[in-house]
Amino acid sequence: MPGQVIEGHAKYEDECNRCHKSFSKESQNRMCRDCHENVDADIRLTQGIHGKGKARDIDCNYCHTDHKGRDADIIQMDIETFDHDGTDYLLKGAHIRTNCTACHVPGKKYREAPKNCVDCHEENDAHKGRLGEKCADCHDERSWVSQEFDHDATDFMLKEKHVDVACNICHVNQKYKDIPKECHVCHGVNDVHAGRYGSKCNECHSEAGWDRTRFDHGRDTEYPLEGKHRGVKCDVCHTGNLHDKKLDRECISCHRGDDGHSGRYGRKCQSCHEPSGWDEGKYDHAVKTKFPLRGMHQDVSCASCHRGEAYEEKLALDCFSCHGQNDVHKGQEGEQCEQCHDEEGWGDRVRFEHDMTSFPLLGLHAVTPCEECHLNAEFKMAVSDCSVCHQPDDVHELRLGQRCDLCHNPNGWPLWEFDHNEQTDYSLDGSHEGLDCLSCHDRDASQGINMSTMCADCHREDDVHDGQFGRYCDRCHITQSFDVVEIR
């Protein structure tokens, strides 16, 4: 023998064939592993110091020689230089600074060192075993205070404000099993609804805070909150137990006190009003009725016309039914106001056609303001006689009567035309032809022109016969001159 074997192999010292096979060095590794089954298993499973790195690819006697004597150290473990990363247990955190003997008890093999936290730290377990032995689920090697428990791996994920809550707030007395998950169990004291809304807080609120509600009234109910309803607090409508009382969705059920119509317009407030406010009306009078609101009608309050029950009364659509009492014409123009007026106003864009009356407007009359002739709204009181309006302009001083239109026309007083021969039964010829009208018409004719055609009535002073030959001067004289005598 080259020398004594180590103390561990002493009992096999006389049995060389336990470690050697004649003429076959290659089989020596196999024979070592057959005895050292734990090492063999590590190599096969690529674990431990023998199953990792270069140790698994070299011969056993490269590190562990024998025949060096009973006290020889064939393990050659240098604690100061040993790389623990080559093992199955990496040293991290506080373990790096831990003395080897704290885990590797003298007299025991290194591989027998415990790997479970609780094996070394049972006396440090503040939970007294109530959370089991899987300390690594929450803690890591840095320190016990450093916690990395993934609460999301449980059936209660921590979100928003729950993330920053200390464990003992929910896990009182370090109780971790059978902890209630319902919001109201922990937050019942914060329930401003005093239990009236039930215990399903998560239907409206989220972990972000009580003020952060996620309840979508439009999605989660059949009544979306719009306009001013968005700013209304829940308690204003939900005055009782939320799940026991079904609220009426009709506007009038909440707003009866706001009904300025005193119920006369029915219960369908939404037909006219919007949630943005009572003043925001949406009723389309033109589409839903036969009477579109135009002009001044647009600003008229509903109650001005609808004074009774809106769904029962049948209002007349003609102007006169509403405005008859305001008829300044006293009924003279009939009841069809729309023939002259429209909704823009009584005095705007009056469409009356004067030519359809017995007095068409011609000449200067066409540009004369209505009030020049119509002194009040009773238009039929106006007379069509020229003299009534133009008496102050009569230069004839009524000596030619009141039928101004016999000579003049509406185009102007100077533009006159009268044919005495055609328009009367007394033709003007001879010396009569150039006479001024007032030479004969020398008296008031306001009651009508009634003049004599007898020569003597005008020429009595010119009668040299002093009436001896009678009144029929035209028997001897002609109109050319009295000096011309033609006895007929």
User: Can you tell me the distance from the alpha carbon of 118 to that of 134, in angstroms, rounded to the nearest whole number?
Assistant: 8
Reported for 127-133, long-range contacts at CB under 8 A and 24+ positions apart, including other chains, are 127/174, 127/176, 128/174, 130/174, 130/175, 130/176, 130/177, 131/174, 131/176
Q: What is the 3-state secondary structure (H, E, C) of 30-53?
A: HHHHHHCHHHHHHHHCCCHHHHCH
pLDDT at 358: 85
* Element spanning 226, H or E: none
For 338, 339, 410, the CA distances from 352, given in Å and listed in that order, are 10, 7, 20
Sequence-ordered alpha helix ranges (H) in 143-284: 167-170, 183-187, 217-220, 234-237, 251-255
Q: Tens-of-pLDDT digits for all 488 residues of the chain?
A: 889 999 999 999 999 988 888 888 888 889 999 999 999 999 999 998 888 878 888 889 888 889 999 999 888 888 888 888 888 888 888 898 889 988 998 888 888 899 899 888 888 888 888 788 888 878 888 887 767 777 888 888 888 889 888 888 888 887 878 888 888 888 888 888 888 888 888 888 888 888 878 788 888 888 898 889 988 888 888 887 777 777 888 888 888 888 888 888 888 888 888 888 887 777 888 888 889 988 899 888 888 888 888 888 888 889 898 898 888 888 888 888 888 888 888 878 788 888 888 889 999 999 988 888 888 888 888 888 888 888 888 899 889 988 888 899 999 988 899 999 999 989 999 999 989 988 899 889 888 888 888 888 888 888 899 889 888 888 899 888 888 888 76
Q: How many residues does the chain have?
A: 488
The whole-angstrom separation of Cα 206 and Cα 159 is 9
Phi/psi of residue 444, each to 5°? -60, 130
DSSP 8-state assignment for residue 194: T
* Residue 25 exposure: Cα atoms within 13 Å on the Cβ side: 4
Predicted model pTM: 0.41
Report the Cα–Cα distance between both ends of the chain, in Å, rounded: 207
Q: Which residues are CB-neighbours of 366 under 8 A, at least 6 positions away?
A: 410
Please give the pLDDT value at position 364: 92
Alpha-carbon distance 449 to 405, whole Å?
14
CB 160 within 8 A of CB 208: yes
Amino acid identity of residue 180, one-letter, is P
Which residue, among 363, 360, 355, 367, has the nearest Cα to 416 in the 3D structure? 363
Determine the pLDDT at residue 220.
Answer: 82
Q: Are 152 and 170 in contact (CB under 8 A)?
A: no
Q: What is the DSSP string of 62-93?
A: GT----S-TT---S---TTT--GGGSSS---G
Do residues 269 and 286 make contact, with C-beta atoms less than 8 angstroms apart?
A: no
- Position of tokens 């921590």? 158
Stretch (H or E) spanning 387? helix 386-390
Nearest 10 degrees: Cα torsion 329, 332, 335, 339:
-80
Query: Which spans in 180-305 are helix H?
Result: 183-187, 217-220, 234-237, 251-255, 285-288, 302-305
What's the rounded Cα separation, in Å, for the pair 481 and 467?
18
Per-residue pLDDT at 488: 67
The angle, 0 to 180 degrees and rounded to 10, between the axes of the packed helices 37-44 and 28-35 is 110
Q: What is the 3-state secondary structure (H, E, C) of 343-368?
A: CCECCCCCCCCHHHCCCCCCHHHHHC
Q: How many CA atoms lie within 13 A of 463 on its CB side?
A: 18
The pLDDT of residue 146 is 66
pLDDT at 447: 87
Q: What is the pLDDT of residue 38?
A: 92
Q: Strand, coil or helix: what is 391?
A: helix
Contact 245, 253 (CB under 8 A): no
Q: β-strand 412-416 against 408-409: which pairing, if any?
A: antiparallel
Give dist(CA 301, CA 125) in Å, integer.
81
d(CA 482, CA 488): 15
Contact residues for 92 (Cβ-Cβ < 8 A; gap 6+): 140, 141, 142
